[in-house]
Structure 1
Amino acid sequence: MASNVNPTVRRRRLGQELRRLRELKGMTAEEVAERLLVSQSKISRLENGRRSISQRDVRDLCSVYEVEDHRVVDSLMQMAKDSRQQGWWHAFGDIPYSVYIGLETDAASLRVYESLIVPGLLQTRDYAEAVISGMWPEATPAEVEKRIQVRLKRQDRLSDPDGPLRFWAVIDEALLRRVVGTERIMADQLEHLAQLSAQPHVTLQVLPYSVGAHPGMYGKFAILEFADALDASVVYLEGVTSDLYLEKANDVQSYTVMYEHLRAKALSAEQSREFILQVAAEYAH
């Protein structure tokens, strides 16, 4: 279940409000940085929610922007305090994609395209262990286990009794055919996919080889949307050493259109379930 105080989302909201105040003042990030004797990159990180914001930062910025309404200042200060709390994922130590987990935890809906790996929220434990070990060969058993536990904990969003995540996945046939672990693990994984896809809030579509070239050949991506209108949608692009978060309306719209093309080319949800069970049977026998 999403936390009432999600530090990642609070940082985003606070950063958006600070950017709005700066723009109302007619100042550039460079000018603000010069006034506060800090780097421009710090101002940018504060505004895009990628860095924790202290109450002192908020106070100094409100002073520069000449915010006179004490209620506004107090509200921003409280948001800064909330944004420094720890989400459930912090208990697992250093997680490279913790920003994404924070967004996923608070998202109302998630649309993903995957070409090579079963989406993390749909993985069985055995599949997760095999794929994590294969993609991170230098990891110790303890490190692999930690990532497995984080992945399994993330899956709670699909069974949240107070409002499960609305999940839509378009997956390439290639990830069904690639044997991760053993054929028995693959059979179990695909049967698990079929079971999950029968839930009303989970939609799964397979993009078969027969469609040929398609927009998803650029690579996997995710589109996160939130219930609160103040929280803009985000496109997430995962990298090896760093991740990319796109929040500009034009970028989100481009990926949304791309996703609609993928949905149109993919098999229907019912056809996809039958196809997945067919491949699972091939592995089982």
Structure 2
Amino acid sequence: MAGPNGAVVRRLHLGRILRELREQAGLSLEIAAPAFDWSSSKLSRIENGRQGVDVHGVRTMMDVYGVVGPQWEELLDLTRAASEKGWWRAYGLDDKGYVPLEAEATLIREATAAFVPGLLQTDAYAKAVFAATLHRRSETELANLTAIRGRRQERLTSDEDPLELIAVVDEAVLRRPVGGRAVMRVQLAHLAEAAALDRVTLQVLPLSLGAHPGLSAPFTLLTFGDIDFGDMVYVEHPVGAVHINKESEVAVATLTFDRLRSLALDVEESVALIERVAAET
């Protein structure tokens, strides 16, 4: 079950199953939707995970699609789980964006050449990153964003809701004085401490490498544990973000990440570099 995390990924998973059941029944969107007194666009949104559906609606869909046996209860349980509300809503976030996806992940693999990964940022560093964007935020919004980041980070040491992080960062991230020298010194010290956590693996791509595959764009791979959904790639860009779960594209991202890890310093060498840069800052 989704527990306190919310259920965005489960809604996506449910939608994909419902689409497969419709296709197995040999029904198009235009033929199936009127049987539920829905428009074809509404049914499409449900199947794409952009709109929720209640237990009554799923029961009707299973009747029409001819579903029998234990799959009934499995789908109804998934429907209930997919209806749960995420903790992030208390901080003013909706179900779009990265946080709802990460909340249901059990493993995060992140590659970045720009900033320290959010799961490893100090409050002061995070505030400096938020302040540097073109989007002006109120003090309340900044406080909420910082609180959200703190709650996300708790999972790195939580026994009840654990999260593993494997991060590959460019050395330029260590040397960029985000927030000023004092903020950066504290951030670098935090990185060295976080690298010692059992659930954190941190590797640095040295500047001496020159060009490498991670320079084109930062990306994050998410793995969802007991949810049979496959891995997902999340990529941010200047006007938004995309999440991708097409198997062939996820495979390319996975190969890229593995290549970056092979090029990066090992964990001990990475921590030693972080400590040297901190001493110079």
C-alpha change, 1:240 and 1:81, in structure 2 (3 Å) is farther
Paired positions, count: 279
Q: In 2 relative to 1, CA 39–243 (structure 1 residues): closer, same or farther, beyond 3 Å?
A: farther
Choose which of 239, 242, 259 in structure 2 pairs with 1:244.
Answer: 242
Q: Which residue of 1 aligns with 2:92?
A: 93
TM-score, length-scaled by structure 1: 0.88
Task: Tell whether 2:80 aligns with 1:81.
Answer: yes
TM-score normalised to the size of structure 2? Answer: 0.89
Q: Which runs of 5+ in 2 are unaligned?
A: none
> Kindly tell me: are residues 75 and 228 of structure 1, through their superposed partners in 2, closer, same or farther at Cα, counting changes over 3 Å?
closer
Letter in 2 for 1:62: M
Higher mean displacement: 175-184 or 60-69: 60-69
One-letter code of the match for 2:131?
S
Do 2:213 and 2:260's aligned partners in 1 also have CA atoms closer than 8 Å?
yes
User: 1:45 Cα deviation (Å)?
Assistant: 3.2
* Structure 1 letter corresponding to 2:53: I
How much has 1:116 moved relative to structure 2?
0.6
Preserved contact between residue 29 and residue 40 of structure 2 (Cα < 8 Å): no
Q: Aligned-pair distance for 1:47? A: 2.4
**Alignment check: 8 A CA contact 1:89 1:98 kept:** no
What is the CA–CA distance in structure 2 between the aligned matches of 1:254 and 1:31, rounded to whole Å? 37
What's the offset of the Cα at 1:207? Answer: 1.1
Q: Which residue of 2 aligns with 1:105?
A: 103
Paired letter, 2:186:
D
The whole-number CA distance in structure 2 between the counterparts of 1:258 and 1:87 is 31
Alignment match, 1:172: 170
In the alignment, which residue of structure 2 is the partner of 1:58? 58
CA distance in 1, matches of 2:51, 2:242: 15
Equivalent residue letter for 2:163? L
Match of 2:13 in 1: 13
1:82-231 superposed matches below 5 A: 82-95=81-94, 98=96, 100-162=98-160, 164-228=162-226, 230-231=228-229
The Cα of 1:185 is off from its aligned counterpart by 0.2
After superposing the two structures, state which structure 1 stretch, 208-217 or 3-12, moved more.
Answer: 3-12
| Alpha-carbon distance in 1 for matches of 2:210, 2:45 | 40
Task: Give the letter for the 1:6 counterpart.
Answer: G
Q: Deviations over 1:54-86 (max 9, x none)?
A: 3344244334423355x6445434433332221
Note the C-alpha offset of 1:142. Answer: 1.2
Aligned counterparts of 1:193 and 1:76: Cα–Cα separation in 2: 42
1:190–1:280 contact (8 Å) kept in structure 2: yes
Going from structure 1 to structure 2, the CA distance change for 1:239 and 1:43 (only over 3 Å counts) comes to farther
| Residues 5 and 87, structure 2, Cα contact 8 Å, conserved in 1 | no
Q: Partner of 1:117: helix, strand, or coil?
A: coil
One-letter amino acid of the structure 2 residue matched with residue 13 of structure 1 = H
How far apart are 1:177 and its partner, in Å?
1.8
Per mean C-alpha deviation after superposition, the further-off stretch among 204-213 and 235-244 is 235-244
Q: CA deviation at 1:271?
A: 0.9
Structure 1 position 270 matched with structure 2 position 233: no
Letter in 1 for 2:39: V
Give, in angstroms, the shift of residue 240 of structure 1.
Answer: 4.2
Residues 105 and 157 in structure 1, CA contact (< 8 A), matched pair in contact too: no
Q: Deviations over 1:151-210 (max 9, x none)?
A: 111111101123631210000122112211110000100110011011222111111222
Residue 38 of structure 1 aligns with which residue?
39
Cα distance in structure 1, aligned partners of 2:53 and 2:97: 14
Q: Using the alignment, how far apart are the partners of 2:97 and 2:79 within structure 1? A: 16
Once residues 38 and 135 of structure 1 are traced to their aligned partners in structure 2, the CA distance between those partners, rounded to angstroms, is 40
Task: Report if the CA contact (8 A) 1:3-1:106 is conserved.
Answer: no
Amino acid at match of 1:38: S
